């Protein structure tokens, strides 16, 4: 997502979200969290079954997507000490496969590894290790949601450029103001340096942003270009907000009555972009409340596959949820009106 800087106010009705663009994430300032209750963990999408959920059922005033929440600090993985990138051939190969070879030409790059994640940058050791912790936790959370482990031997580089200019060089035109991105052709993440700096300085963990981006890195490679943007971003945002255990409302969507399209995410109006991400997340959360995370991932997996027999998004909703898009969106807007949410 693209987000306004802390110094650029949005509107008093819009929370100061840290937004990123189409392979991206959101970090938000602390918001009053809504209550959550435990439910069984997600299983593989192959285990999905049962009758379609009925719109209008199980709507509660809490407006939450019930799912188990663990403190982020409880999921920290052990991380290594920084080592020279030149000593990490598998990380270099992973970066080269993404096409972002400009990063390989920068001197003094170090790598901090945490499981199958490798954070690459020249920042202070504490910063690199903190991002590695967030990335490892985010990967584990995303794997739980998708029901699929990262293949053995696969390394996920998380690139941390030094400056905004370096980030813009890697991101390319139109993406230079994004908070982070995954290139779409390889499991890799690039983070915008000043956004991570702000998160760390404000003592707000970068876990949400990193988890959102890693979800893209794990699931977007080879995805169909016809996959709805609201689904791609909404599920990644659901993963990101889940790791920090927050359902805070960060943009006013009280008047939204249809799902956002790709043009909403590309709008030059920052408020429109914020509302697009918020609406996408809200609808995905609604789908989880209807039928759980495993069915969401079955829907997501089929929507992302580029096959000759592929169904339209509304046909897929009908297949997985028993109702077409118009009916589900109408019920979603009704359900939102019953929620108790924090003041913006």
Between 184 and 97, the higher pLDDT residue: 97
Segment 242-271 shows an average pLDDT of 85
Which pLDDT belongs to residue 18?
A: 32
Q: Does position 182 have pLDDT exceeding 70, yes or no? A: yes
Per-residue model confidence as pLDDT tens digits over 139-162: 999 999 999 899 999 999 999 999
Burial label, 234 (beta-carbon count in 10 A; 0-12, 13-18, 19+): buried
One DSSP character per residue, 205-248 reads -THHHHHHHHHHHHH-TT--TTS-HHHHHHHHHHHHHHHTT---
Tokens 């482990």 — which residue?
149
Reference 264, options 245, 248, 247, 251; nearest CA is: 251
Q: Indicate if the pLDDT at residue 64 is higher than 50.
A: no
**Contact between 26 and 243 (Cβ < 8 Å):** no
Residues 219-255: tens digit of each pLDDT: 988 787 778 999 999 999 999 999 988 766 778 898 9
Q: For residues 178 and 38, which has the higher predicted lDDT (pLDDT)?
A: 178
Q: What is the pLDDT of residues 8-52, one digit of tens each?
A: 222 222 222 333 443 443 333 322 222 222 222 233 333 323 333
User: Which burial class, exposed, middle or buried, applies to 81 when counting CB atoms under 10 A from its CB (0-12, 13-18, 19+)?
Assistant: exposed
331 pLDDT exceeds 90? yes
The CA-based dihedral angle spanning residues 124, 6, 69, 258, taken in that order and rounded to the nearest 10 degrees: -140
Predicted pLDDT at 76: 54
Contact 183, 98 (CB under 8 A): yes
Whole-number Å distance between alpha carbons of 305 and 311: 10
Q: What average pLDDT does the structure give for the chain?
A: 76
97 vs 344: which has the higher pLDDT: 97
Q: How far apart are CA 208 and CA 67, in angstroms?
A: 16
């Amino acid at each position: 997502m693209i987000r306004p800087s802390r110094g650029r106010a949005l509107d008093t009705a819009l929370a100061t979200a840290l937004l990123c663009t189409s392979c991206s994430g959101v970090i938000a300032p602390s918001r009053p969290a809504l209550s959550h209750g435990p439910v069984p963990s997600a299983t593989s999408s192959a285990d999905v079954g049962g009758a379609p959920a009925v719109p209008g059922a199980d709507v509660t005033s809490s407006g939450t997507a019930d799912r188990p929440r663990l403190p982020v600090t409880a999921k920290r993985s052990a991380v290594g000490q920084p080592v020279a990138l030149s000593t990490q051939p598998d990380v270099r190969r992973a970066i080269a496969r993404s096409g972002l070879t400009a990063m390989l030409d920068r001197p003094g790059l170090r790598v901090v590894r945490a499981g199958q994640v490798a954070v690459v940058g020249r920042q202070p050791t504490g910063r690199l290790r903190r991002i590695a912790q967030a990335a490892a936790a985010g990967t584990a959370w995303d794997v739980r949601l998708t029901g699929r482990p990262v293949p053995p031997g696969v390394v996920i580089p998380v690139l941390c450029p030094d400056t905004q200019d370096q980030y813009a060089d890697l991101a390319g035109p139109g993406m230079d103001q994004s908070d982070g991105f995954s290139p779409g052709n390889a499991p890799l993440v690039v983070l915008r340096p000043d956004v991570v700096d702000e998160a760390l300085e404000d003592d707000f963990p970068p876990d949400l942003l990193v988890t959102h981006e890693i979800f893209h890195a794990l699931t977007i490679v080879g995805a169909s270009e016809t996959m709805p943007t609201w689904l791609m971003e909404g599920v990644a945002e659901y993963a990101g907000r889940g790791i920090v255990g927050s359902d805070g409302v960060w943009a006013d969507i009280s008047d939204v009555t249809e799902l956002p399209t790709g043009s909403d995410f590309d709008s030059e109006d920052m408020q429109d972009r914020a509302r697009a991400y918020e609406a996408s997340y809200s609808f995905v959360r609604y789908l989880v409340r209807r039928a759980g995370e495993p069915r969401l991932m079955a829907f997501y997996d089929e929507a992302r596959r580029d096959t000759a027999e592929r169904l339209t998004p509304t046909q897929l909703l009908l297949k997985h949820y028993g109702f077409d898009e118009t009916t589900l969106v109408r019920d979603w807007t009704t359900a939102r009106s019953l929620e108790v949410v924090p003041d913006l």
